Each structure stands twice: as structure tokens, then as C-alpha cells.
Chains A and B, each alone.
Chain A
Amino acid sequence: MARNPEHRDLFPGALEIMILQSLRLKPMHGYALVKHIKQVSDNLLQVEEGSLYPALQRMLREGWLESEMGVSAKGRPTRIYRVTDAGIRHLGEEVVSIEKMFAGITRVLAIAKA
């Protein structure tokens, strides 16, 4: 489990938000999801496989995602994940709470600088 020390851990819930946001654009399979997040974040964020698959299962259990049989870009059988309505609702709530958190952190940092 090679862990790149330059990448810091995500805060709890962050991975779920990124998965939800990514899958909202279009349903994807696991590997595509990893690549997508890597690309979009310009390699700043790296999703560890070790957390991805358990997280996907957790979200399936919560009912935020659905999975269906499908084929990968290379034509191999795999599972395609798709966001449900509940997932979209959850994403909305999470984004609001994260924005609040960022706003708070930013203000505190601003005071500290001043």
C-alpha cells in the first residue's frame, strides 16, 4: 500500500462528496472514478483504492448510489455506479456544511494573519 507522503489525508466525508459529485456528472465504474478524481484535481488529490471500494459499499448501503452490470471502457464486465435522488440530496446538504466550514476556517486564518 504505497502511500505518497505529499498527499495529506482527506477529512471524513470528503471522499463521499467527491464520489457523489463525480458520479453526478455521469455514471462510472471504479477505476474510471479514481482516474476522474485524479485528473480533475490536477493530481492534487489521490483516491486510495483501499478507501474507495469500502466507501462505495457504504454509500450503496446508505442508498446514495446504485450499481448495475456494465462494461468498462475496455469492454470487460464490471459494475457501474450511479447517484440516486437520495444521493443528490445528501450531496447538497454536505456541500452546504462544507462551505460553512471553509468560510469559518478562512475567517480564523485571516484573523491570525492580521
Chain B
Amino acid sequence: MQSLSKLFSRRRRFDDISVSIQEHIEERAEELMEEGMARKEAEQGARREFGNVALMKERSREVWQWSALESLLADLKLTLRRLRRSPGFAATVLLTLAIGIGANTAVFSVLNSVLLKPLPYPDSGRLTALWLDAPGANGLANFNSGLRLSPSLFLTFAEHNHSFQSMGIWAMRYATVTGIAQPDQADAALVSGGVLETLGVRPETGQWFSAADQDPHGRKTVMLSYGYWQRRFGGDRGVIGRAIQVDGVTREIVGVMPRGFRMVDQDFDLLIPMALDHATLKMYPFGYDGIGRLKPGVTLAQADGDLAQLVPLWMDSWSNGPGTNSHSYAKWRITPNFRPLKNKVIGNVGSVLWVVMATIGLVMLIACTNVANLLMVRAESRLQELAIRAALGAGRRRIARELLVESVALGLMGGMLSIGVAYAGLRLLVAIGPADLPRMNEIVLDESSLGFTLLLSVFCGLFFGSIPVLKYLRTSSSAVLTGTNRTASASRPRHRSRNALVVAQVAMALVLLVSALLMIRTFAALRNVEPGFKDAEHVQTVNIWIPELQAPDPHTVAQMQRNIVNQLAAIPGVTSVGFAAGVPMDGNDPNWDQIMVEGKNYAGGEPPLRLYNYVSPGYFQSLGTHLVAGRGFTWDDLNNVLPMVMVSESFARESWGSAAAAIGKRVRKYDSSPWQQVIGVVEDVHVHGVDDKAPAIIYWPAIFYDRYATPPQMGGLRFVTYVIHTERAGTTGFLSEMQQAVWSVSGNLPLASVETMQNLYSQSLARTSFTLVMLAIAGSMALALGIIGIYGVISYTVSQRTREIGIRLALGAQKSELKWMFVRSALLLTSAGVVIGLATAATMMQLMKSLLFGISPLDPFTYITVPLILVVSAAAASYLPARRAAAVDPVEALRAE
């Protein structure tokens, strides 16, 4: 109420001021008249003495106003009114801004959610990935994740370190769950003690695993993920205490983790205690991811130093069994190289996201220059009005502020509209983004995204607003009023800022086009790489895991697997079937171990580690990997467990000079292992994606003799990927027939990860194709905006110089010369932009080096093509207005003045 009455009284105040000032001037005029002046002169004199009446009134009123805000509001009102009067201009600017800011916000949201925000665990800054380097282990550089931990190494670390509050190891497994409804293949995370304490997220309901749950002889327990709990138990809180069968073991449900909880970077269904048994642990296997929570104030370097001292202790305290030397690991030079857990989760996606962000930002800058150009034209048409207002007493700052208010208001309105664009863009980004984009589920449009939108809107408004303002401040108002600008052709300085904008636009567009073309060339180079398999869209893959519950010994497993192959091969349309421990580009390496070539001496006495795969007959045929020399495995080879291997071509060349020479040669794992004969050589396969070089691979038969089991026994694969070559790959009909075929062997086997090789291949290219799509969009937007910019400037110049053109024509200038004059000025600007752009691109592309493949960041083809495209586009964009100039009728043009 009070503010309302204040408002009323204020209106009265404003009237008072007017009345007082009015009376003041009249009284003074009267006095002057009494001194003998004529009425008119006296009135003028009184006014002159008083000074700027409007300004005085405004100053007097401002006393009552809430500082500058009200006049700002008045400016805003005026701005809105003016925008309503030119809807075309408003729509163009707002649309440009909405799309530009929206795209930026969407990309920023991804960047923020994936790279910038801390991991969703309490006090996540202290979470550490226990990453080990082992420079002495030959071939280890091929590992994707350094050297992982073995359980014994973990126990040594956990019991003796001084740096960590807690630590644990974990690994993902498939598990078959029975006892609910139909058998179900679930993703299980095996966790040691310390994992949950390290991550620090409390269960939704129930308890964490206790120390008793980690006792190998204690009770058997399990925890559920939120998703699995909802799917299988309908979110019933009564599940705590219930029992389910996991791989045939009865386990009691003790807790449910909350929604959104992930096992570092993995989704899971079940958590199962690892229940390590000290008595049976050996020094290997190194297959577990380690995580730790640092004590407050301990740095990563201190932790590295602390735990490095424990490696000798580990070698002193553990053994791989009688007759082995546990200090042989000293040669590996195992060194802790711990890193923030976030780095591990994010992986190498950072460079892609930053490049996309920079790209989109650059497009925004180009869009802003276009808007600035539009605003400048508008401001120019208002120069007269502004000059009159300045003459009437408006301060320059006041007018500059009004221009800025207009542009910032435009920016903010564009920003508001952009939120819708950002929302849609974000969904699109997530849909077309690389499938392995980490933290995908955390991507949201949150308050920091909105804050970014606000900042960007204001910044854009100030940026494109300040250009016309600076220009206005340099213009002298007397020149405008006396009309010199109206009759003369525009002077050089008037065009300078506009030209500078065009040069900047061309330079930025060039940078974007260069990056887009480099990505296209990269993609083409990747597509040209022979991946080592063929006809990928007609190759179906499916994972089947046979638990011990169903087949206790390797022979039964092998028999079931062979039966499945036969059943699958009997499906109409199937041309061949095989299986292996892993298929190319599935993201998993089946195994790594050393291999010794007979008669070869190794530096340091240790052969390098090689990638292993275990394959069945028919595997290479189904995949389309061709045999270079020798022959493939037969079922007889497998059934008799004959000591033989196949190798990749690169391994054969490296070891024996040629593929043919490899046949009949022998290799073995360790000094004490039996020799294996090389029976065949297959072409190299890019198992880690076409952008990675094809590694040397040793192919073992899918059934082998496991001398590390106690006692040594037949070994086989329980988890295999079937590879089926058929025209019907990927169809639902084929999927259900596949299911029937498998179930005819055993009704309890779920099918998992049903894919085509084409999918796996595309996924391995996802990072490149995503970057390509983003850069291609940005590049074409930049080109379009750049062309519009050049076109706009040239046609504006033409319209401003109509009179001059008329004179030239009247004096006998040739039309073609006139056209060329305008095209030439456009080409001049473009060339300047191209030179600046080339220099910028050459430096900036070094940053993109890691995204390129088979192509130099200074690829000559790209650096010649892009400038050509720009020059031709500029010529075309300027030709249209130039033609219009040549069509000017000199009589009309001169009469118009």
C-alpha cells in the first residue's frame, strides 16, 4: 500500500516540478520584458538562461526514482515498442540467437555434466583409481587400463598402506539368476571389502555388506541395484532377507542401492561380495579395477610413494605355487600411478567435447557478427533521430545506453527462446552422441546450464550491441544534421567496421570448414581401413554363458557349445557359425599373456605379452577373416586337444619373416609349457577399432589344457560370443529362431548382447562420426552465415552508393566494370579473411590432432579446397548485388536526390 501511495504522490511531485520550472521561466521572461525586451526575445532569453529544461526536469525527477533502473525500464519499453514495429528484423535476430544460444547451451550441458561436475559420490574429490604402470612388462602398453590389481596385491596394499581411508577392488561378471521367474542373465559386480565404504553411498534400504559377508566360509549375500529391484521386485521393501539363486548359490538379499548409483562407470544389477580366500590366493590374476578414498590432505604423489614401497612386500609374502619365483615380477617394475577416479570415468572423450564446444562457440560468434551488422544498419537509419536527440540534450552516454539496452534485451529474449532449442538439442545430442559417452545418464539441463544461457545472452547482447555503439560514438552529430552524409557516398571510415566484421566472419568460417573437412577426410581414411572382417551387416553376434550349475566340467560345456553351433547352423539362411572368447571391437580383450617363439632369444629374457583369443572351427569363416596360410582348426583338433595355435599375419611376419614360413613352427607360453604348433595364419584384425593399429594375436583352440588349475585339467570357455553369418542377421524373426535353437540345447540359457558386426563397427567409429556430424553442421552454418554476411555488406554498399553509381554510369562507366568493382571489393575482404583464417586454422588444428586419423593437421588438400570454396561463395554472394548496381538507371539515381 505504501509503495502505491508513494507512486501517486510521485506523480504529483513530477507535476510540481513542471509547474515550478514553467513559472520560473515565465517570471524571468516577464522581468526581461520589463527591462524593455520584446516578448519573443525575452522568452528565448529566459529559456537560454535556464538551460536545458528537459534535462533539469529529468534530474529533478530522478531524485524520486529508484536510481537508474526506472529509466532503464523506460528504455526497455521503448525498445520493445520499436521491435514490434519491425517484426522482420526482430524475428531474424531472435531466431539466430535462439538457435545459436540454444546449441551452445546444449553442448555446454553435456560438457558440464560429463567433464566438469564432480562424480555423484560424497566428497568425490578424494576418490582415486588405483592405476599401476608396469614398464618392464613387455606389451603392457596395449592394455587399455594400465596394469590392474590382483587380489593378493590389493590385500597387501589394503593392509599396509598409510594413505587411504579405504580401498577395494571390483570386476564385472555375468550371473544367472534363478528362483524369481524365468532364468535371467544379470550384470553382477563382484566387490571386495572396502568398495562400498570407498564410494560412500548409503543403501536405499537394508545394509552394506559386512565383514562377515566377505568371509569365504561365511553366509552368502547379495545386494540389488535400484533398477533391478524395481524391475524384478516392483520396489518391494520386503525383499531384504529374501533369498535368490545366483549361479546356483542361494544368496540372501541384504540391501538395495539407491537410484542413479553406478559402479564407477558401469551399470549393474547385482553386487556380490568377492569373499577372497587368503589361503588359495596367488599373485595373479591382474584383472581387477582398484578404487581408493584418500585420507584428507594426502596427495596422489604421496600415495604413489607410499604404495610403491609395498610392491616388494607383496613379492615377499605371496607365491604362484611351488617352483615359481615370486620375485620374477620385479622385472615388470610395477609402479603406482594413481589418478583421480573422474579421469578414469571420463576417459578420452574430453577432447571431442571441447572441440565441439569450441566449434559451436565459433558459430555463435559468427552469428553475433551478423546480428551486429543488422543492428549497425538499423542504427545508421536512426543516426538522424539520435543526432536530433543529442541536440535536444540527451547525453551520449544516455544514447549509448539505450542502444545497449536494445541489444541486451534482444540477447535476453533470444536466450529465453533458446531454452526450448537447448532442450531439444540436448536430446538430439544424447541420441547421436557416441554410445560409450561416459556419464550419459547424468546429462541434464540444470541450473548451471541456465546460468550459462543467461551469461551467454547478456554477453552476446553486449558484444553485438557495442559495435554499433562504438561506431555511433565516433560519428559527429553535426555532420549528420547538416546532411553531408546524405549526399556523399559513404566515406571509408563508415565502412571500416562493417568490413572488419566480414573479414572476421570469413576467417572464422574458414577455421570451421577446415576442421569439418579434416574430419570428413579422417572418416574416409577410417572407412578405407580393412578391418579384418567382411560383410559386417550380415554377421550376427550373441553372447551365451554356461554356468557351472548347468555343466560342471569343460567337456560337457564344450559338447553343449558344439550342439548350439549345430542348432544355429541348421537355421534356414545361415551359411556358417563359430564362436570365440571375444569378437573384434566388442570392447573386451579375452586375455593377454606372453608367448615364446622357438629358437628366439628375447631381450631381458622375457617375451612380450600378446593378445590371446580362443576360437572354434568356423569362427574365421563366419567373420570373413581370410586365411593367409595353412589351415584352420577342426572339431577333431579341439576334441583331441591337439597342441596347436593359429597366429595373426603380423605376428607371423615379425617372428618368421612371412606367413607361409610360420606354418609348422612352434611356440609356447612359458619355459615349462608344452610346444604348440602353428597350423594357420589369418589376416590382421583391427580388434580395437579401425583407428587403432591391428595388434598381433595368438589364436588358441576353444578347448585347451589348463596347467594352472590344481590339478592341471582340461580348460574351456564358459563365456563365448557366437558369430553367425546369415543374410537375415539383425531381424527379429532370426532372433527368435536363434533363441529356439539355443533353448533346444538347454532351456536355462539366456541370450545376451545380441548385435550385428556392423553395429560394433559403427560404434567403434562413433566418436569420429559424432565429431564429424557436429563439425559438418557447424561448418555449413558458418559458411551460410558468412555468405549472408558478405551478401548483406555488398548490397548495403550498393544501396548507399546508388548516386555515385548513377554519376559513374552517366559519365560513361561500363556496366561490367561496375559489377567487377563490387565483386572485387568482396573478394578483397574474403582474401583478407582467408589469410587470417589459414594462419588461425594451422595453429588451432594442432589441438585437434588426437581426433585425426591418417591425415596431417596441415593436409594440403583441405587447405586449398576450403579457401577456394570461400572465394567462389563470396564471388557469388557479391555478384547478385553487383548486378543490381549495374542495372541502376542513371537518370533515376540522380533525380532521386
Contacts and interface: CB of A to CB of B under 8 A. Distances in A.
Interface of A: 1-2, 29-31, 34, 48-50, 53-54, 56-58, 60-61, 67, 72-74, 76-79
B23 A1 contact: no
B48 A2 contact: yes
25 contacts: A1-B52, A29-B20, A29-B23, A30-B21, A48-B51, A49-B50, A49-B51, A49-B56, A50-B51, A53-B17, A53-B57, A53-B59, A53-B60, A54-B59, A54-B60, A56-B60, A57-B61, A57-B64, A60-B63, A74-B26, A74-B27, A76-B26, A77-B23, A78-B20, A78-B23
Nearest to B52: A1
B49 interface: yes
A76 B27 contact: yes
Q: Is the interface of B mostly helix, strand, loop or mixed?
A: helix
B30 A74 contact: yes
B68 interface: no
B20 A53 contact: yes
Nearest to B53: A49
B20 A30 contact: yes
A62 to B, nearest CB: 10
Contact of A1 (B20, B28, B51): B51
Contacts, number: 72
A79 B19 contact: yes
Interface in B4-33: 13, 16-17, 19-21, 23-24, 26-28, 30
**Complex A-B, nearest 8 residue pairs according to Cβ-Cβ distance, in ascending order:** A78-B23, A1-B51, A57-B63, A54-B59, A31-B24, A53-B60, A31-B27, A57-B60
Given A2-B51, A29-B23, 4 more contacts: A29-B24, A61-B63, A74-B30, A78-B23
A54 B61 CA distance: 7
A67 B23 contact: no
A2 B49 contact: yes
Contacts of B17: 53, 57
A31 B13 contact: no
A1 B50 CA distance: 7
Contacts of A74: 26-27, 30
Given A49-B50, A50-B51, A76-B26, A61 B56 contact: no
B33 to A, nearest CB: 11
Contacts of A2: 48-49, 51
A58 B23 contact: no
A60 B13 CA distance: 10
A76 B56 CA distance: 21
Contacts of B50: 49
B20 A79 contact: yes
B27 A72 contact: yes
B56 A31 contact: no
Contacts of A61: 63-64
B385 interface: no
Identify the interface centre among A31, A53, A72: most chain B CB within 10 Å of its CB.
Answer: A53
A33 to B, nearest CB: 9
A76 to B, nearest CB: 5
B23 A31 contact: yes
A76 B30 CA distance: 12
Contacts of B56: 49-50, 53-54
B62 interface: yes
Contacts of A78: 19-20, 23-24
A1 B57 CA distance: 14
Interface string B42-56: 000000111110011
Contacts of B59: 50, 53-54
B28 to A, nearest CB: 7
Nearest to A78: B23
A53 B52 CA distance: 12
B60 A30 contact: no
B55 to A, nearest CB: 8
A34 B23 CA distance: 13
Contacts of B26: 74, 76
Contacts of A30: 20-21, 23-24
A53 B62 CA distance: 11
A114 B23 CA distance: 52
Contacts of B61: 57
